[in-house]
């Protein structure tokens, strides 16, 4: 009875931790890729890491002590849990330390392919250095307990071999550039809307100065070349990058740019204004491939009214 009560309590604590990390992130939730917290595309890494530990421990024991220890698999399970659980919990607590969470560890999410070494390299190295230290500490404790000595002979060989296992399991992340993973908070979508709004305002001002005609362009880069002089560069968002969504920028190595609908090239601005009263679901002049047809991103009645009234 007591057991089931403490189990229930633990489930509540764990569920609370998971829930908090889901609701608290504002911008990007950034989780570091480690052998026990991989991106969703690399779910094979933890079991592969575990299998590698089994093979290496059997090999080491036979080589150093003449035979494989009885219940060697249990020793590896113990080692794995002893390292992975505290490391994961520590990482999750770091990732929910404030309402705008700093990076840490978390459940497997899609890789942030767009965050390269320059942006998250030191973060990746710092967290994995911590992971390696915790891992080697666990190896030492497990072997010390098993062999009944605080500092067993040949322990350095064992530690080096395990450090090698840890580093090998990081190679796929490093080679393919999946150093972090995570999910976008509400601010990322708002930031996409902010960029689109800059462009839409530029389009309106362009039309105002060009006989109420929308710019003629093939794609978003052509569009930005036309409306560039009409952007409100006093607004920090409008002086930044305006051709891609911040979500796509983080999610993909080569993000898809915003889509300019050529149907609106050179059309009357009224064609654009009509959309404000149209039902959702139809083609917008400019849309985001990651937040497709999300009118709310630029459907800003106050701004629309102010711009229209000033004409
Ligand atoms: Zn977007």
Q: What is the pLDDT of residues 102-138, one digit of tens each?
A: 688 989 999 999 999 999 999 999 999 999 999 999 9
Ligand 1 centre distance from Cα of residue 280 (Å): 17
- C-beta separation of 142 from 78 below 8 A: yes
288 and 211 in a single domain? The answer is: yes
Distance 240 CA to ligand 1 centre (A): 15
Domain end residue (candidates: 168, 184, 200): 184
Cα-to-centroid distance, 235 and ligand 1 (Å): 19
Q: Answer yes or no: do 154 and 200 share one domain.
A: no
Q: Are residues 233 and 160 in the same domain?
A: no
Give this prediction's pTM: 0.81
- Domain count along the chain: 2
Whether 3 maps to a domain, the answer reads: no
The pLDDT of residue 24 is 41
Is 108 a member of any domain?
yes
Structure tokens at 45: 């890494």
Whether 250 is covered by a domain: the verdict is: yes
Residues 42 and 175 in one domain: yes
Please indicate, yes or no, if residue 13 is contained in any of the structural domains: no
- Ligand 1 centroid to residue 259 C-alpha, Å: 11
Distance 245 CA to ligand 1 centre (A): 4
184 alpha carbon – ligand 1 mean position (Å): 11
- Considering the domain boundaries, does residue 10 fall inside one? no
Cα(91) to ligand 1 centroid in Å equals 29
Same domain, 40 and 123: yes
Mean pLDDT of the chain: 86
**Cβ within 8 Å of residue 119, ≥6 positions away:** none
What pLDDT was estimated at residue 22?
Answer: 45
Ligand 1 geometric centre to CA of 252 (Å): 13
Count Cα atoms within 13 angstroms, Cβ side, for 279. Answer: 1
| Residue where a domain stops, chosen among 135, 164, 184 | 184
Distance CA(184)–CA(166), nearest Å, equals 29
Helix (H) or strand (E) holding 181: strand 180-184
| Token duo for residue 218 | 């093939």
Q: Which SS3 state, helix, strand or coil, does residue 29 take? A: strand
Residue 94: the pLDDT is 81
Q: Contact, 83 vs 11, CB < 8 A?
A: no
Ligand 1 centroid distance, CA of 287 (Å): 8
Residue 215's pLDDT band (boundaries 50, 70, 90)?
Answer: very high
Residue where one domain finishes, among candidates 119, 150, 184: 184
Tell me, in angstroms, the distance from the centre of ligand 1 to residue 57's CA.
48
Q: For residue 50, is it within any domain? A: yes
CA of 6 to the centre of ligand 1 (A): 44
Domain identity same for 200 and 176: no
Question: Is residue 196 within 8 Å of 227, Cβ to Cβ?
Answer: no
pLDDT of 50-84, one tens digit each? 999 999 999 999 999 999 999 999 999 999 999 99
Residue 172 shares a structural domain with residue 193: no
Same domain? For 196 and 305 the reply is yes
Task: Please check whether residue 17 lies inside any domain of the structure.
Answer: no
Same domain, 141 and 227: no
Distance 95 CA to ligand 1 centre (A): 24
- Report the percentage of the chain scoring pLDDT > 70: 83
49 lies in the same domain as 160: yes
For residues 278 and 247, membership in a common domain is answered with yes
65: tokens are 């002590």
| Distance of alpha carbon 222 from alpha carbon 234, whole angstroms | 22
Kindly tell me if the per-residue pLDDT of 299 is higher than 60: no
Residues comprising the chain, all counted: 311
Domain that holds residue 293: 187-309
Distance 123 CA to ligand 1 centre (A): 26
In angstroms, the CA 107 to CA 278 distance is 41
Q: What are phi and psi of 222, to 5 degrees?
A: -60, -40
Residue ranges of alpha helices (H) inside the chain are 2-24, 45-65, 72-95, 117-147, 155-176, 186-209, 220-227, 246-251, 269-273, 301-309
Do residues 172 and 205 both lie within one domain?
no
CA distances for 206 relative to 168, 184, 213, angstroms: 55, 33, 8
118 CA distance to ligand 1 middle (Å): 23
Report CA torsion sign: 241, 245, 251, 256: negative
The answer to the question of residue 9 being in a domain is no
Instruction: For residue 131, give both structure tokens.
Output: 């992971």
């Amino acid at each position: 009875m007591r057991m089931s009560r403490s189990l229930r309590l633990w489930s509540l604590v764990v569920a609370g931790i998971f829930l908090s990390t889901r609701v608290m992130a504002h911008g990007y939730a950034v989780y570091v890729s480690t052998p026990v917290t991989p991106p969703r595309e690399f779910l094979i890494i933890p079991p592969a890491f575990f299998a590698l530990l089994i093979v290496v421990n059997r090999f080491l024991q036979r080589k150093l002590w003449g035979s494989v220890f009885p219940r060697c698999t249990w020793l590896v399970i113990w080692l794995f849990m002893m390292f992975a659980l505290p490391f994961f919990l520590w990482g999750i607590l770091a990732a929910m330390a404030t309402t705008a969470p700093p990076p840490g560890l978390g459940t497997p999410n899609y890789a942030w392919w767009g965050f390269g070494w320059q942006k998250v390299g030191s973060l990746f190295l710092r967290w994995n250095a911590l992971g390696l230290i915790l891992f080697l500490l666990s190896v030492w404790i497990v072997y010390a307990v098993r062999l009944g000595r605080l500092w067993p002979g040949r322990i350095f060989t064992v530690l080096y071999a395990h450090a090698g296992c840890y580093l090998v399991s990081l190679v796929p992340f490093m080679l393919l550039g999946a150093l972090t993973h995570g999910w976008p908070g509400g601010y990322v979508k708002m930031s996409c809307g902010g960029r689109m709004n800059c462009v839409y305002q530029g389009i309106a001002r362009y039309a105002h100065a060009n006989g109420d005609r929308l710019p003629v362009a093939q794609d978003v880069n052509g569009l930005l070349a036309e409306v560039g002089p009409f952007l409100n560069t006093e607004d920090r968002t409008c002086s930044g990058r305006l051709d891609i969504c911040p979500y796509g920028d983080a999610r993909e190595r080569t993000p898809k740019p915003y889509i300019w609908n050529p149907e609106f090239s050179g059309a009357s601005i009224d064609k654009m204004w009509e959309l404000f009263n149209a039902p959702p679901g139809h083609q917008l002049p400019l849309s985001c491939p990651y937040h497709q047809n999300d009118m709310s991103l630029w459907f800003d009645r106050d701004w629309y009214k102010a711009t229209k009234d000033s004409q």
